Structure 1
Amino acid sequence: MSGGIARAVLFDLDGTLVDSLGDLHAAVQRVADDLGRAPVPVDVVRPAVSRGGRGMLAAAFPDLDDARRETLLQPFLDHYAASIAARSAPFDGMLQVLDRIEGSGARWGIVTNKAEALARKLVDALGLLPRCAVLIGGDTLAQRKPHPLQLQVACERLGLACGDAVYIGDDRRDADAAAAAGMRAVAAAWGYRDADDDIHAWGADVVLASPHDLLAPGAMRAR
Structure 2
Amino acid sequence: MKSTYHNAHNRGKTNLGWLDSKHSFSFGQFFNPQLTNFGLLRVLNDDVVAPNMGFGKHPHQDIEIISIPLDGSLRHRDNMGNETIIKEGEIQVMTAGTGIEHSEFNNSKTETVNFLQLWIFPNQKNLKPRYDQQKISNRIKNDWQQILSPYPDDSGVWIHQKAWINLGEFTEATSINYNCHVEANGVYFFIIEGEAEIATQQLGKRDAIGIWAFENLQVKTQSHTKILAIEVPMQ
Q: TM-score, normalised by structure 2?
A: 0.27
Higher helix proportion (structure 1 or 2): 1
More strand by share: 2
* Structure of higher RCO (CA pairs closer than 8 Å, 6+ residues apart): 1
